[in-house]
Chain A
């Protein structure tokens, strides 16, 4: 079992090394510092998405869901559109990155906590209804964004469209410290409650009879998901199905349902996929921004495969 862990760690190290040192060229100091920042960003986003997806699948007791379908990406796009529409192009471009990042994260976390909190209080254990509500809210946000986008002039629309596609290449290194703080805090908390998450995964009646404060832990897990997804989305843009691949592979590789093992495994796999994929696309294939589109495509196929094999829970 631990051999797999070592192997994955080695693979991640190799991927990072390849990303950093492949084709350095003459001005290596500059290139290296640039790449280190991007690498850190990718590792952060990978870890955040991995942990968020595993937690979300545990809470929803469902292996085909990712937290991003709950309308996070739509809310993000709506925020970008609303910002451009209200501030204008120059105002949007002049926004200080840390301020914009903080505001986005706070709004997304607040929105999801309002959704999770009120709905869990009201619907009790009806997680499917909660998720469906999130999905429909996502449609609502997307339509509202489309509505606003119709009122924009073409230049402003192009800016919104650029912001609406995820790109791992445009991670802003100024934001990394605060993003790292939030992500590491949330992941640390998740690892700390990992044994209790194992009990949560057994379902509400069993968990309660085993003495678990079920609803409170569930709210905590959802809050962690909200923080992680918000940070990842604000950092690189909307990514929906990446977490699905990661969580699926982590379940296969870990061969256990214990979160203390599942969570690190998922983080390693996410790092390997992101860094390896970016190295491949950037250096070997010479493509710049299509990694996110390919990840969505492959993630979609992976989802269909999961469904057809009946691996729903």
Chain B
């Protein structure tokens, strides 16, 4: 468990930095005496740091689960249509019942995400098994198309601005106490994956092997679908789309630690949290005191990491 320990220790200074960076002046020394500083810390900085950590950890685990479901290393919820389906569901609710409470929006987004992921799983069953890289390709095209549908509906209903700012580029600048707590549910769903880690690992061996080992593949498949959809939908409802976390972190962890999910999942979660924290802090510092959304930063960093993975690692199933 040494990498896990090292990563967790690395999270501490990062979190401290995240607590201290921001447009408002806040000094830890005067925290006890200055009510303003305490307010900033408890209402803005602490919730934001927690939200970043929860999001990173949950998305990284959702990526692992997705990769086990599809048996392909180059997929994650953001490149399989899951995130765009959730956005579509959210958009539908916003149009049909604008005043609906947040949990209804959340349920609708989760259901849509589940439907989108199921569609993707159905599609890739038709692909030839040897073509490993065709799977992420179909997924990316599918997400582009679902994204085009979202854009089309947004164009027709004058919601384009909301879509491009809220849904398509995730950012944490809007997070304050009372507006991120849904992410705890996402983290709980991700924790559920840890309890079923062995089953997901076995499912990754293939349908026949899993059945032969006494596992009900369909049940595990459904559980994985729920975990992926709930995590993706909740992250989108609260902060928006954050690309590539579920893809690069599990791959980098698997390169050094292998595929024993029960051992690697905590490391993956810590790694995801650390990466999102670094990118969020970068986004806050680049144009201080203004912010660049973490989704944009990760789009650049993540795609470079993805390319590196694509050419370093021999493509495996």
Q: Which residues of A contact B (CB under 8 A)?
A: 62, 64-65, 69, 126, 128-129, 131-133, 135-137, 139-140, 142-144, 146-147, 150-151, 240-241, 290, 293-294, 296-297, 300-301, 303-304, 307-308, 310, 312
Contacts and interface: CB of A to CB of B under 8 A. Distances in A.
Contacts, number: 97
Contacts of A133: 307, 310
A120 B298 CA distance: 28
Interface string B256-291: 000000000000000000000000000000010010
Nearest to B119: A304
A278 B65 CA distance: 46
Contacts of B132: 128
Contact of B303 (A140, A240, A301): A140
Given A140-B304, A300-B145, A303-B141, A132 B299 contact: no
B166 to A, nearest CB: 14
Contacts of A151: 287
Contact of B296 (A147, A301, A312): A147
Contacts of B149: 297, 300
5 contacts: A62-B134, A143-B298, A294-B152, A296-B148, A307-B142
User: 4 closest pairs, A vs B, by CB?
Assistant: A143-B299, A300-B145, A128-B133, A140-B303
Contacts of A312: 126-127
B145 A146 contact: no
A143 B133 contact: no
A294 B307 CA distance: 32
Given A69-B144, A312-B126, A132 B310 contact: yes
A133 B133 CA distance: 10
Contacts of B293: 146, 150
A307 B155 contact: no
Interface in B122-168: 122-123, 126-127, 131-134, 136-138, 140-142, 144-146, 148-149, 151-152, 155
Given A69-B141, A136-B306, A300 B148 contact: yes
A241 B303 contact: no
Nearest to A143: B299
B131 A307 contact: no
A131 B137 CA distance: 8
Contacts of B67: none
B287 A140 contact: no
A142 B296 CA distance: 9
Given A147-B292, A150-B293, A307 B144 contact: no
B contact face: mostly helix, strand, loop, or mixed: helix
Contacts of B141: 64-65, 69, 303
Nearest to A310: B126
Find the residue from A128, A131, A143, A297 having the highest chain B CB count within 10 A: A143
Contacts of A62: 134
Interface of B: 74, 122-123, 126-127, 131-134, 136-138, 140-142, 144-146, 148-149, 151-152, 155, 169, 243, 287, 290, 292-293, 296-300, 303-304, 306-307, 310, 315
Find the residue from B145, B287, B304 having the highest chain A CB count within 10 A: B145
Given A128-B134, A300-B144, A300-B148, 18 more contacts: A64-B141, A131-B133, A132-B133, A133-B307, A135-B137, A135-B140, A139-B299, A139-B303, A140-B304, A241-B148, A293-B152, A293-B155, A297-B152, A300-B146, A307-B123, A308-B122, A310-B126, A312-B126
Given A143-B303, A147-B300, A307-B138, A136 B310 contact: yes
Contacts of A297: 148-149, 152
A129 B303 contact: no
Contact of A146 (B122, B142, B151, B299): B299
A136 B74 CA distance: 12
Contacts of A128: 131-134, 137
A297 B287 CA distance: 36
B144 A129 contact: no
B136 A132 contact: yes
A308 B123 contact: yes
A136 B307 contact: yes
Find the residue from A126, A133, A151, A307 having the highest chain B CB count within 10 A: A307
Nearest to A311: B126
Contact of B133 (A129, A139, A147, A240): A129
B126 A140 contact: no
A150 B293 CA distance: 9
B138 A146 contact: no
B310 A129 contact: yes
B18 to A, nearest CB: 20
Contacts of B304: 140
A293 B155 CA distance: 9
A129 B149 CA distance: 27
